[in-house]
Structure formats: C-alpha cells, structure tokens
Amino acid sequence: MNVYTTKHDISDAIKVLKGQKKKLGFVATMGALHQGHMALVKTALNQNDVAVVSIFVNPTQFNNQEDLDKYPRTLDRDINLLKTASNNEIIVFAPTVYTIYNGNTTSEHFDFDGLEFEMEGKFREGHFNGVGTIVKRLLEIIQPDKAYFGEKDFQQLQIIKKLVEKHNIPTKIIGCPIHRETSGLAMSSRNERLKEVYKKEAPFIYKTLKTAKIKFGTKSANKVAEWVTKQFAKNKLLELEYFIISDEQTLKPVKRKSNKKSYRAFIAVYADDIRLIDNIALN
C-alpha cells in the first residue's frame, strides 16, 4: 500500500491514476480507524477503482487544545487495518501539519448559509471553519470523483455538501449510515478513550434516541426534548449537552411538525471528559 506524505507525491500518484481513467473515491479521516471508517472505505472501493484515504488530525477544527493533544494517533495500526480491505486499491495520504498549512495553521472563513451556527457550531466555536478549510484543501489535492462521509457527523455532512456546491468542487458527496457497536453506541475514535464504566453506560444515548423517535410520532418536539432532558438528569454518569430535533435540510430546530419535512434528533453528551455525539432520523 502506498502512503504519501507530501502534496507533490500524492499529486503525482493522482495524475497517474487519472491518466489511466481510474475513478477515485475519497475517505477523509483523522485516523484511529475503526469499523465505521472501514465501512466508508469499503463503499468507496465498491463504487470506484481506487480509494484514497487521508489520515490527518486537523488542528484548526479543535477548539480545545487538550482534546487535540489527546486525540489518538495510530498511523501504523491504521495502515495495517486498511491493508485488510485491499493492498493495491487503497492509497493513503498522511500529511504533516506543515504540508497542509505551510506554517500558517489557521482556518479560512466560510459561509455555509447558517448551517454552521446550529448545534455543534454553538458549542464548538470555529469548528466548521476548520473542517471546511481541511476538506476543501484535501478535495483540491485529491480531486476525487466521489467522497464518503458518515452520518454520525450529520451536520458536518450537510456542511460539506454546501462547501462543494458553493465552491463548485466537482466531487459528489455521499452520506453513509452510522456504524454502531453491538451495544448501539455509535462508533467513534473517541470511544477508545472511554473508561470501562462509561463505555458500559454510553449505549444509553442511542437507547434514549430510539425511544425519542417513537415519542416524536405522537408528541411535539418540545415534549420529546423535555422527556430526554429528564432521562439524562436521572443518569449519574452521562451529562447531556444538547438534544435538538431539527429539519434535516436547514438544521433549524423544528417549531411545528410538517409531513413534508424530514426531521432528525441530534444529541451531544459528556461521558466523563469525552464528548460523544449521535443522531437519529425521525420520519
């Protein structure tokens, strides 16, 4: 498996593949790969000739230095895991911070038509400018036909679709379903850092989302949110940061339900000092 670390080398490899008329599917990651990432890679391989996987812990999307410092970095293990999917049809781009930011590790400013101000945007200042900056740069370097992003970060997925539309980037963005542990916990690189007692309790998040979905069939969004807040108030280990039911397209909180719209419930929870997010389609 070829692993490139410089823009120059990956660009040369891409040029060769494009010359051979190969279709490129792209999966952007921050490493610490798990089965959720592997599902994206497998979809990319199924729909393209080559999967390009980037592994880069992007500093500009972290608003907390400690979170950035503690983010797991496991490049060798990641490469070995990718090899189990394919040795020849995957290439890896694992740049340094300098390669991407050239000594100026700051975000560009983006206008995502308001998508950036909801949910994660409220709690993680500057996060989506950081995500927009890195994803735009990676798409410009790799020039994939299609790029695959998980629905666990549903707001990120909608924002990346907006990024591509607004900047006329000729890559089709494909959302892929959330991958869950058998316990129901949404797969995340952060799960690795959960202490055992929190790992055992964390499936409560998805369990609550599933019940919220049933309740949304007959109750208002406010009533469902009240119920969820009460459940977490009773839970001694998990601390609710937000629970919001929003329109899937605009991500604006629902005021009055309409049959014509698709809604999704979004949640962020602290398990000790680890922040976990999840979401569920409601209709």
Q: Which residues bind ligand PAF (CB under 6 A)?
A: 28-30, 58, 61, 131, 134-135, 153, 156
Residue 30 vs 282, nearer CB to ligand PAF: 30
- d(C-alpha 224, C-alpha 204), whole Å: 16
The DSSP secondary structure of 88-154, one letter per residue, reads SSEEEE---HHHHHTT---PPP---TTGGGSTHHHHSTTHHHHHHHHHHHHHHHH--SEEEEEGGGH
Please report how close the Cβ of residue 230 comes to ligand PAF at its closest, in angstroms.
Answer: 31
Residue 153 vs 278, nearer CB to ligand PAF: 153
Please report how close the Cβ of residue 58 comes to ligand PAF at its closest, in angstroms.
Answer: 4
Q: Find out whether 167 and 132 touch, Cβ atoms under 8 Å.
A: no
As given in the structure block, the two tokens for residue 207 are: 């369990």
- d(C-alpha 10, C-alpha 268), whole Å: 36
Length of the chain counted residue by residue: 283
Residue 116 vs 153, nearer CB to ligand PAF: 153
Residue 155 vs 208, nearer CB to ligand PAF: 155
3 state DSSP class of 52? strand
Q: Of the listed 37, 127, 167, 179, which one is catalytic? A: 37
Nearest to 160 by CA among 13, 58, 151, 278: 151
As given in the structure block, the two tokens for residue 94 are: 């694992």
Q: At 281, which amino acid appears?
A: A
**Helices 221-234 & 204-216, crossing angle to 10 degrees?**
150
Helices first, then strands: H and E counts in the chain = 11, 9
Residue 56 vs 216, nearer CB to ligand PAF: 56
Please report how close the Cβ of residue 3 comes to ligand PAF at its closest, in angstroms.
Answer: 17
Please report how close the Cβ of residue 135 comes to ligand PAF at its closest, in angstroms.
Answer: 6
Task: Tell how strand 50-55 and strand 2-4 pair up.
Answer: unpaired
Q: At 187, which amino acid appears?
A: M
Please report how close the Cβ of residue 201 comes to ligand PAF at its closest, in angstroms.
Answer: 24
Please report how close the Cβ of residue 256 comes to ligand PAF at its closest, in angstroms.
Answer: 32
Q: Is 167 a catalytic residue?
A: no
* Count of other CB atoms within 10 angstroms of residue 262: 12
Residue 78 vs 153, nearer CB to ligand PAF: 153
- Residues annotated as part of the active site: 37
